[in-house]
Structure 1
Amino acid sequence: MIQTEQLLQTLQTEFDQSTYGDHPDELYEPIRYIMSLSGKRFRPLLTLLSASLYSEHWEHAVKPAMAVEVFHNFTLMHDDIMDKAPLRRGKATVHEKWNENTAILSGDVMLIKAYDLLLDIPKDLLRPVLARFNQTAAEVCEGQQLDMNFETRWDVTEEEYLEMIRLKTSVLLGFALELGGILSGADKTSTQLLYDAGENMGIGFQLKDDLLDVYGDPEKFGKQVGGDIISNKKTFLLIEALSKADAATRLELEKWIELKKFENQVKVKAVTEIYEKLDIRTFTQQKINDYFARGIDCLEKLPIADERKQVLLQFVHQLVEREK
């Protein structure tokens, strides 16, 4: 039975050997840089795990799986520009290390390279895969626009937030799993179950990110705990707190949101105490568990032998229990 370590090693070897282009170096070096940063690589891994459900010869899915990761990093490069983010995975973002124009152009090339990697798909599957990829790519952009729209709104509802993260984050996880099934000959019922599994787990994954930003272990989380509170980022926790707070508690929360000068640790502690008072942590964890349970249920419904699902399900449970 295939193991995740073998799949990850294959992916890493392929990424290490990819140059993306040579000249001018100023265009391609930023691509090599962002692709060398130690991301989780779980999106292409999901594609290979999905492909291995239906075929012992999962190698045919490697290049398309890489396309998913290259596209994901393209979105990160452009998101960092829009967010004016100084760091990505603990390193300088591309627009900080080079400049914004270079980051925009290098990101554009990454999108083109993602399509190049998809050309490895057999001709009879290429059109349907490209149609699904294009739909997914457009939805990711829609999610990013909604996220930017929310920056100037304080009436964002739970439903609106969940739809935003579904588009911005989850549809790509759904496509990653669906892609592996399509490439290995899964029927339409199965590819839909794979997509639904990824979409639900993607929402759970983003909600977990929101939770870890407040309650994560700084040694394991890999970035500043409380960063979302400091920047007033509209996370699931903040939206729920604003929704559930009584008048006095909401007034206290709004005071911290509007405050221009403050000590980071003091603000993080104060807002976290409000979350505790409203039991936001428990409510968020219940939502996370619910979405992951929906995703796992979809995988368990796949009409294949349970033993073939074992490695994929083990990996999903690792995502549920992750601390970073």
Structure 2
Amino acid sequence: MKSLANYQEAFLAYLNQQDYTLEPNGLYAPIDYILKLGGKRLRPILVLLAVESFGAKKEKALPASLAVEIFHNFSLVHDDIMDEAPLRRGKPTVHKKWDTNTGILSGDAMLIMAYQQLHDYPSSQAKQLHQLFSKTAIQICEGQQYDVEFETRNLVSETEYLQMIEYKTAVLVACALQMGAIIAEAAEESQHKIYEFGKLLGIAFQLQDDFLDAFGNPATFGKQIGGDILENKKTFLYIKAKELGNEKQKDELNRFFSVETHKNEDKIQQVKDVFEATGAKKSIQKAIEAYTHQAIKVLNSIEMEEQAKNHLLEFSDWLMTRKV
């Protein structure tokens, strides 16, 4: 993981150079708080990794990497408000530390700031970056809306769910990689392939996140375990449990997911028991592996230096085996 740590260090050094001690403090302090709250910085790392994979210097991609990270954190601030989440990376969410109005307004400012990072690229690159970024942004909003609608629907198909996580999560991973390829002036075919690699990897990442939400370690996950269950989210685990379960297990899930509660540890454990008994837990683990392998197949078809490909493979392997 040393190579990935180097990209992370380069990004964090650049992030720490940014000055968010601006006025009004009530707008900018929450932005500084969420951006410096931690996290693995996966998406900005991918921008830097991609640009060097196609033969350019990572320094050229630092503003774009910051754009991706600011946008990602903007979406988290607003998602946390919508989900009424108390914790983010083990710390109070912005709307809990301040208030909901602050979370909305500071999040709006972050969206604008993300686009500002792309202004200084050469005009032809800036146009491509803005078009890709805008397409990604609207897809993320579409994915979030699907996610909200699924909470109140009795039936969500596996296909619908996979499309939702593709839009809500995977397209930003794909965008990060293609932005690096654009900045490096990679061939158009390579840009499309690195995007596809990122999309498949992003789906695997979100499925892994769903798995960790139910079965992760609270000390390392950084969010409330069982949050999706309490919010009645129709995740891959839920969908597979409904598909694979017997009538009694399906009835149990219907009962659990018809109850609106935010403080019921018994519900979390009992639903997790159903996920295990039906084989849904094993199904999601197989799906994570399958999407990761599809991503690697696409990666292997891209023309790039073997060392660069190995760094991307290293990232894929880490994503697939990160601690629970």
Task: Mark yes or no: TM-score above 0.5.
Answer: yes
* Partners of 1:8 and 1:198 in 2: CA distance: 18
Alignment of 1:158-307 (within 5 A): 158-259=158-259, 264-307=264-307
Which shifted more, 227-236 or 9-18? 227-236
- % same residue: 42
Amino acid at match of 1:270: Q
* Partners of 2:181 and 2:173 in 1: CA distance: 13
Q: What CA RMSD, in Å, does the superposition of the two structures yield over aligned residues? A: 1.9
For each residue in 1:201-252, what CA deviation from the matched residue of structure 2 results, as whole angstroms up to 9, or x when unmatched? 1111111111122222334333343333333222110121122223222112
* Partners of 2:290 and 2:188 in 1: CA distance: 25
Is the alpha carbon distance of 1:21 and 1:221 closer, same or farther for their aligned partners in structure 2, counting shifts above 3 Å? closer
Consecutive unaligned residues of structure 2, counting only runs of 5 or more, are none
Alignment of 1:1-324 (within 5 A): 3-20=3-20, 22-259=22-259, 264-324=264-324
1:191 Cα offset (Å) = 0.6
* Partners of 1:267 and 1:83 in 2: CA distance: 18
Please give the secondary structure, in 1, of the residue aligned with 2:117. helix
Is the alpha carbon distance of 1:88 and 1:123 closer, same or farther for their aligned partners in structure 2, counting shifts above 3 Å? same
* Partners of 2:263 and 2:114 in 1: CA distance: 43
1:267 Cα offset (Å) = 2.7
Asked whether the equivalents of residues 87 and 223 of structure 2 are also in contact (C-alpha less than 8 Å), the reply is no
1:286 Cα offset (Å) = 1.1
Asked whether the equivalents of residues 54 and 181 of structure 2 are also in contact (C-alpha less than 8 Å), the reply is yes
Amino acid at match of 1:17: Q
For each residue in 1:245-286, what CA deviation from the matched residue of structure 2 results, as whole angstroms up to 9, or x when unmatched? 232221122223335689844333322222222111111111
Which shifted more, 59-68 or 248-257? 248-257
Amino acid at match of 2:106: S
Please give the secondary structure, in 2, of the residue aligned with 1:155. coil
For each residue in 1:85-120, what CA deviation from the matched residue of structure 2 results, as whole angstroms up to 9, or x when unmatched? 222111111122222222211111111111111113
Amino acid at match of 2:83: D
* Partners of 1:263 and 1:105 in 2: CA distance: 28
Consecutive unaligned residues of structure 1, counting only runs of 5 or more, are none
Which shifted more, 203-212 or 76-85? 76-85
Count matched residues.
Answer: 323
* Partners of 2:263 and 2:98 in 1: CA distance: 31
Is the alpha carbon distance of 1:316 and 1:264 closer, same or farther for their aligned partners in structure 2, counting shifts above 3 Å? same
Please give the secondary structure, in 1, of the residue aligned with 2:113. helix
Amino acid at match of 1:22: L
* Partners of 2:261 and 2:33 in 1: CA distance: 35
* Partners of 1:260 and 1:315 in 2: CA distance: 38
* Partners of 1:24 and 1:237 in 2: CA distance: 44
Is the alpha carbon distance of 1:223 and 1:299 closer, same or farther for their aligned partners in structure 2, counting shifts above 3 Å? same
Which shifted more, 203-212 or 216-225? 216-225
Is the alpha carbon distance of 1:215 and 1:102 closer, same or farther for their aligned partners in structure 2, counting shifts above 3 Å? closer
* Partners of 1:229 and 1:272 in 2: CA distance: 9
Which shifted more, 172-181 or 218-227? 218-227
* Partners of 1:17 and 1:266 in 2: CA distance: 46
Amino acid at match of 1:46: L
* Partners of 2:278 and 2:237 in 1: CA distance: 10
Asked whether the equivalents of residues 230 and 263 of structure 2 are also in contact (C-alpha less than 8 Å), the reply is no
Please give the secondary structure, in 1, of the residue aligned with 2:257. helix
* Partners of 1:190 and 1:37 in 2: CA distance: 34
For each residue in 1:184-215, what CA deviation from the matched residue of structure 2 results, as whole angstroms up to 9, or x when unmatched? 01111101111001111111111111112222
* Partners of 1:320 and 1:303 in 2: CA distance: 23
Please give the secondary structure, in 2, of the residue aligned with 1:126. helix
Asked whether the equivalents of residues 53 and 305 of structure 2 are also in contact (C-alpha less than 8 Å), the reply is no
For each residue in 1:131-181, what CA deviation from the matched residue of structure 2 results, as whole angstroms up to 9, or x when unmatched? 111100010011111111111111111111110110000000000001101
Amino acid at match of 2:181: G
* Partners of 1:262 and 1:250 in 2: CA distance: 22
* Partners of 2:261 and 2:21 in 1: CA distance: 46
Amino acid at match of 1:208: Q
* Partners of 2:118 and 2:23 in 1: CA distance: 22
